[in-house]
Structure 1
């Protein structure tokens, strides 16, 4: 079994890697840990460095690798996983990290212009919803970082009482 077909943008919600695209033989993607990663075709084709992307993150990701890239020896194939990353990035097309809209820790407006706090591993909305970074969908690319303290509930409540607009944490 292989990962399900990518949609026209190369996305699949259940995949631990978010393909961004490629440029000049380098493939760009968000790793399971939330990092922006760039790997050369030669390394991915040979499977070099691929195991490091998936190992030790979670049992679910390890299981995903075994289900999708099981080799003949009963171990998941790093080479097959590398080829899958290449294909998924090729579907996305050309990607230039120098001009992409990427955001990390800070307070940002979401696609609906409401304030959200990017706390490294999660995004916290003004109403207090905590969304794992891997599940946060936006027009920009959310890059993971070391976690920081989340906005305090009392601060959100106090600010919300004094502002009718949804902009919080400014």
Structure 2
């Protein structure tokens, strides 16, 4: 990628992927004698807002659908919903319970590269080791290389906003 970005015939770059990969390409683009724009979609979180009435009406179905989107393509699609924002209460509890059951049934999937798998594993371990995030469910482990295990964690909004490790 850096070879392409540094080539004088290239006049703009589009990139979807990791923050470290995109940042490296941006630095290469800016270091050129003729800097070029880089349009990058990097490590998206894609928040999902669950409104109270929707949760009351169909919380279980939303929980199941959320996990389907979360685990689609081993979570590697740029549309992956990585953050849920909702008001604490009984309806949210129902959503979390349904999502937890769906996560427990979500089979392990193979990630694209060892690097992506390692970054995912480090992120899950960071969440699991945090005193501000609580693990709700894990899917079954895989038995092949680069197999990711689905995980569901919850945190209070104040903890999320005040802890950069939870936001990574």
TM-score computed with the length of structure 1 as normaliser: 0.21
Hey, which of these two has a bigger chunk of helix by percent? Answer: 2
Higher RCO, 1 vs 2 (CA within 8 Å, ≥6 residues apart): 1
TM (norm. structure 2) is: 0.21
